[in-house]
Amino acid sequence: MATAAATAVVEAVAPAKPNGRRRLLLLAIPVVLAGAGAGLWFSGILPGLLGLGHHSEAHGAAPGHGTPAASAAAAKPPAFVDMPEMVANLSGVPGRRSVYVKLHARIELARPEDVPAAQAGMPRLQDLFQTYLRETRPEELRGSAGTWRLHEELIARANIAIAPARVTDVLFTELLIQ
């Protein structure tokens, strides 16, 4: 009777070891495959095999084929619209001498078709720019960080003024603070 009980215990314990190894393999195989797939994806091999990568003419791709954004940018160059020169006094401390800013800029539009919309919205664009400049303190325009903030704020306001047209950049042709 003792041998029958021992045999039953041995039979119950014996299959447990292969189950543990099977579980380990069932967990390890997907992890290894996911790691290999990620390595192939980020190295650029897998997107190329799937036809998702960037094709250049040197690799035999036809001109104009590639990513949609690259072909759209190559097909339609940006358009530029000159803004009239603006002079505004900056917000300052009462009793101190007034500080003026002279700004001449050019806006870059994403599509040439947006030029009429930009020209039609030019009074609104000038108003938003003038209002922002009058609220600005001279200390806020000091240094390259101040110029960059001005640049970003003017892009945001230009996009509001001439929506649905999209302004991609505001280029300063003249910025004088006196």
Mean model confidence pLDDT for the chain: 79
Q: Which two tokens stand for residue 52?
A: 């998702």
Contact 124, 162 (CB under 8 A): yes
Global pTM value: 0.55
Q: Answer whether residue 93 shows pLDDT above 50.
A: yes
CA 139 to chain centre: 29
Q: Are strands 100-109 and 79-82 parallel, antiparallel or unpaired?
A: antiparallel
Domains of the chain by residue range: 2-72, 76-177
Phi, psi dihedrals of residue 109, rounded to the nearest 5°: -105, 150
The answer to whether residues 161 and 121 touch, using CB atoms and an 8 Å cutoff, is yes
Domain 76-177 bears CATH identifier 3.30.479.30: yes
Confidence of residue 106 (pLDDT cuts 50, 70, 90): very high
Pick 66 or 145 by higher pLDDT. 145
Band of residue 104 on the pLDDT scale cut at 50, 70, 90: very high
